[in-house]
Structure 1
Amino acid sequence: MSERGREQGRQGIVAVDISVIIPTHNRAAMLRSLLGRLDAQRDGTPAFEILVVADGCEDDTLAMLASLRTRVPLRTLSLPGVGPALARNAGSQVASGRLLIFLDDDIEPGENFVWAHVVEHQRQPGGVVLGPYPPLPHIAKDRFRLNARAWWTRHFERVSRPGHRFAFTDVLTGNLSLDAELFHAMGGLDPQFARAREDFEFGLRLIKKGVPIRFAPDALGYHLEHQTSTLTGKMVRRHQEGRSDALMARKHPDIQRLLEIHRFAGRTGRKRRLQMTIATRAGSVLDPLVKAGPRVLQMLEKAGLRRLYEKLERQLNGYHYLRGAAEVLGEDWRLPTDPTASADDIEVLEINLEQGLEAAEAMLAERRPLAVRIVNGTVPVGDMSHQIGAEPWDARHFRPWLNRQAIHGYLPVALAEWLGQPTNVRTPLSDFTLNILNNRSFHVHTIEQHVQWTQAKLPSALYDNTSES
């Protein structure tokens, strides 16, 4: 952290441009460790404040915060247990910073955390920045933790890929930053989604508004999910997810087909009626019995009964989800009519590669279309399709997409080459691939595709001398 920032922390000055907002509930020891890491950010980090929103804390969180001395300005807001969505909203209302960084209390941020968020906003102002928080490496001995770790790892591997097209389900407030003005203009997090899906719903509104979403890999924090996640907690979470998905289907019927509730509500027949009856009428009787579910799962795992474990886990997940949905839907499980426009109503932008890749990228950046048709002269190359709940296409998506298309287009040629057969297998796409690179070696072709994509990101001075060799 800069000397100016350290001095401000010692003096308790909070007139800063950056606020790190941390909602917390009964995690005093974990929070203390997190605050220590924020207090030791790298040199050059701009001055920032920490705002802890203690939400219904009954442990020694408040006492710990009162006695803690940090170089970074630290403030506390106490609430009576309103849930993470309202806690973040409340924190944003009293934050001093023009840039808000939301951070969960079970994440240990790296020393570049604040700096990386700031740099990304300076590079491209006006959007939302997501940072990774993969699971802290640990030995997971039970199936529940293995599955949880695998999910988080796959998620951040996917969103970190070059040219990833963000969807509303990628927006997680555990490590997210945006301008305070934008957050308030969007209305903050919807209090209806007090304890689940509040970030998904916020992400959907951001995407519909056309707000750019970016990923900052250096804004890294490690998720201590192995210390905070439990089977019992997962079942409670599933209940809240069912409730929130039912609310989401009502508020945003255009994406209801993407929600799990659509799969349940769309069923017909005896099985559906039985599930709905159990969720709406028999829940009060079954709930006490179902509470034993996590203990039974642990017994099945110890006994090595994997199939029974997986079957019971699915049943418990579904039960808790439906119980939550029933709180909103009651006995009427009909969802609102989906107003989504048909594919024929979506405007498709056509881009001709004969105009050059730079011209194509410029057009995508300017127009940000929902769907694109790519041609090379009169030869169709492929479609950048419309996807419900996903951000519009932009320039950064283009070369990675083209790279994947070109490789797939070359597969028939590559297979013939590998089999030692004449490379006379042709499709319009493989012809385009060969023409654009003028190269019929599959291995050289693949390498060249990666080189071309890399050159699009690096300053020209780094590769101009080598490109002529």
Structure 2
Amino acid sequence: MTSTSQLPITWNMNRENLTVSVIIPTHNRSASLRRALDALQLQSYPIDLMEVTVVADTCIDDTLAMLQEYKAPFKLHAIEVNCRSASIARNTGAAAASGELLLFLDDDIEAMPPLVESHVRTHQARRGCAVMGVYPPKLQGATRYFDVEVRAWWEDKFYQMTHPEHRFEYRDLLSGNLSLDAALFARLDGFDSAFGNCGGEDYEFGIRLLKAGVPFVMATEALGYHYEHETNNLDRSFRRSRQEGRSDVLIGQRHPEIRPLLHVNDYEIPYSLVDKVLVAVAFFWPAAVDFLAAGLRKCLDLLQSLGMRLTWRWLRAKLRGYWYFRGVMDELKSRSAISSFLQGGPARADLSDREIEIDLQQGWEAAERLIDAERPDGIYLRYGELIVGHIPPQFGIEPLRGVHLRSILATSVSDRLLVAMAANGMPKNSETALENPLIAVDSYELVIGH
């Protein structure tokens, strides 16, 4: 992962300047859209190198009138479409864009002044990447269990993604604050328009980016605040869960190798007897289970009022799982179709012919350099003649980088590594090796713990 935190904020006009097309799809949220446009006026990037294209998708509020009256210091284009599809809206904006760089922003994100500049600087440092900015939810003072859960999820998501050792997967491709070279976006045919209004087009696009060898990069200063909570609630989250079920099926149909990783597998072998009964009844009498789910939804409000947070979380997870399953049913219709869908993919998600073997006895830095040179999908680790671990390949995840090795050894093979080192002769500081998280291996520091 590349971070831009070390990059200066002041724009250097002597460096190559990229033209940027900011693309904002919107649907009946004129107030949020105005806030997003106002924030773009305050960007530190030269305003004459920016254009903003708003794609108004089936808007029946005052969005179009607001755009006609809006006074912008940058080039502002408005395109009206009637598709109710974020993927088509984004593709439409990209097709009309003239910038070298495409920057996709959601209409409920308030961009901080360095956002555009940080995207540009990251692309200048590493051309050909998919660059994502951070957009935590603006939820100060919110105390509802749902708001707290949403905030915690997003904060943890960005915390993990901004760690240098994070290994990106296709689910990390977030289109709310995303930039790519316009030529690269066109070459990959953009977002899959077949996803319509069920969402998931960003995850599918993430798979194609990874298959094409496009690195994911976080630009930590490309910060925007997400105001989705203004329209987000429990009922909407359950609708999204149903859409996620549908979109996972579409992803699996386009990329069969991903099928073993999808939550669809959870419903082939339900966890408990209650789950088995509900799955069986849902196929034959879905309206009855929907009615039960609606009643349980009301229980969430009661649990909140009683302060029963753990029970609230358990029930919400069950309801999310049910509505996800209903989305799967929407696409596949029957239990036999689900079984056929899962059997149509590989039996395992850890198969690849791009694996290498590394001898950690040769030194820490040597191992990192070899991984960066080979970018393997999997690694067999040994110390001298002794095998200490295996990092198996995984579908839908970026090839390994040298920086990944540190955390893998710390969390997966530290015990076996210590045994192998002892068997082959500990380094000079071995007396404190079991207590000290740093162990020297041939004069290199090998981190095996925190």
TM range (shorter): 0.7 to 0.9
- The worse-fitting range, judged by mean Cα deviation, of 24-33 and 435-444 is 435-444
- The worse-fitting range, judged by mean Cα deviation, of 97-106 and 298-307 is 298-307
Structure 2 equivalent of residue 32 of structure 1: 34
User: C-alpha separation between the residues in 1 aligned to 2:351 and 2:107?
Assistant: 46
Kindly state the Cα deviation for residue 322 of structure 1 after the two structures are TM-superposed.
2.2
**What secondary structure, in the 3-state scheme, does the structure 2 residue paired with 1:71 have?**
coil
Do the aligned partners of 2:48 and 2:74 also contact (CA within 8 Å) in 1?
no
Kindly state the Cα deviation for residue 147 of structure 1 after the two structures are TM-superposed.
1.0
Aligned residues: 427
Given candidates 330, 338, 342, the residue that maps to 1:333 is: 338
Do the aligned partners of 2:45 and 2:117 also contact (CA within 8 Å) in 1?
no
For structure 2, the 5+ residue unaligned runs are 1-8, 446-450
Q: Residues 40-51 of structure 1 correspond to what in structure 2 (within 5 A)?
A: 40-42=42-44, 47-51=49-53
- The worse-fitting range, judged by mean Cα deviation, of 44-53 and 167-176 is 44-53
Structure 2 equivalent of residue 368 of structure 1: 375
Kindly state the Cα deviation for residue 65 of structure 1 after the two structures are TM-superposed.
1.1
Structure 1 equivalent of residue 122 of structure 2: 120
Structure 1 equivalent of residue 303 of structure 2: 300
Amino acid at match of 2:374: R
- The worse-fitting range, judged by mean Cα deviation, of 37-46 and 204-213 is 37-46
- The worse-fitting range, judged by mean Cα deviation, of 342-351 and 247-256 is 342-351
Given candidates 253, 256, 271, the residue that maps to 1:250 is: 253
After superposition, the C-alpha distances for 1:120-139 in whole angstroms (9 at most, x for unaligned) are 11111112112111122512
1:68 matched to 2:75: no
Structure 2 equivalent of residue 147 of structure 1: 149
User: C-alpha separation between the residues in 2 aligned to 1:388 and 1:394?
Assistant: 16
**What secondary structure, in the 3-state scheme, does the structure 2 residue paired with 1:178 have?**
strand
Q: 1:382 to 1:296 in 2, by over 3 A?
A: closer
User: C-alpha separation between the residues in 1 aligned to 2:428 and 2:87?
Assistant: 50
After superposition, the C-alpha distances for 1:183-215 in whole angstroms (9 at most, x for unaligned) are 122221112322321111111121222221111
Q: 1:76 to 1:278 in 2, by over 3 A?
A: farther
Structure 1 equivalent of residue 167 of structure 2: 165
Given candidates 168, 177, 180, the residue that maps to 1:178 is: 180
Structure 1 equivalent of residue 111 of structure 2: 109
Q: In terms of Rg, which structure is larger?
A: 1
Q: 1:33 to 1:288 in 2, by over 3 A?
A: same
User: C-alpha separation between the residues in 2 aligned to 1:48 and 1:113?
Assistant: 12
Do the aligned partners of 2:351 and 2:394 also contact (CA within 8 Å) in 1?
no
Kindly state the Cα deviation for residue 98 of structure 1 after the two structures are TM-superposed.
1.9
Do the aligned partners of 2:427 and 2:440 also contact (CA within 8 Å) in 1?
no
Q: TM-score, normalized by length of structure 1?
A: 0.80
Amino acid at match of 1:435: P
Structure 2 equivalent of residue 440 of structure 1: 432
Q: 1:289 to 1:349 in 2, by over 3 A?
A: closer
1:217 matched to 2:217: no
User: C-alpha separation between the residues in 1 aligned to 2:428 and 2:85?
Assistant: 54
Kindly state the Cα deviation for residue 280 of structure 1 after the two structures are TM-superposed.
3.9
Do the aligned partners of 1:165 and 1:391 also contact (CA within 8 Å) in 2?
yes
Amino acid at match of 1:367: E
Structure 1 equivalent of residue 285 of structure 2: 282
User: C-alpha separation between the residues in 1 aligned to 2:311 and 2:433?
Assistant: 50
User: C-alpha separation between the residues in 2 aligned to 1:82 and 1:54?
Assistant: 10
Structure 1 equivalent of residue 448 of structure 2: none
User: C-alpha separation between the residues in 1 aligned to 2:229 and 2:422?
Assistant: 47
Q: TM-score, normalized by length of structure 2?
A: 0.83
| Structure with a larger share of its residues in helix | 1
User: C-alpha separation between the residues in 2 aligned to 1:298 and 1:178?
Assistant: 42
Kindly state the Cα deviation for residue 61 of structure 1 after the two structures are TM-superposed.
1.2
Structure 2 equivalent of residue 83 of structure 1: 85
Amino acid at match of 1:147: E
Q: 1:125 to 1:433 in 2, by over 3 A?
A: farther
After superposition, the C-alpha distances for 1:427-458 in whole angstroms (9 at most, x for unaligned) are 22578996397783778755999xx99xxxxx
Q: 1:241 to 1:118 in 2, by over 3 A?
A: same
- The worse-fitting range, judged by mean Cα deviation, of 182-191 and 33-42 is 182-191
Do the aligned partners of 1:37 and 1:110 also contact (CA within 8 Å) in 2?
yes
User: C-alpha separation between the residues in 2 aligned to 1:345 and 1:2?
Assistant: 45
**What secondary structure, in the 3-state scheme, does the structure 2 residue paired with 1:326 have?**
helix
Kindly state the Cα deviation for residue 378 of structure 1 after the two structures are TM-superposed.
3.8
Amino acid at match of 2:221: D
Kindly state the Cα deviation for residue 288 of structure 1 after the two structures are TM-superposed.
6.2
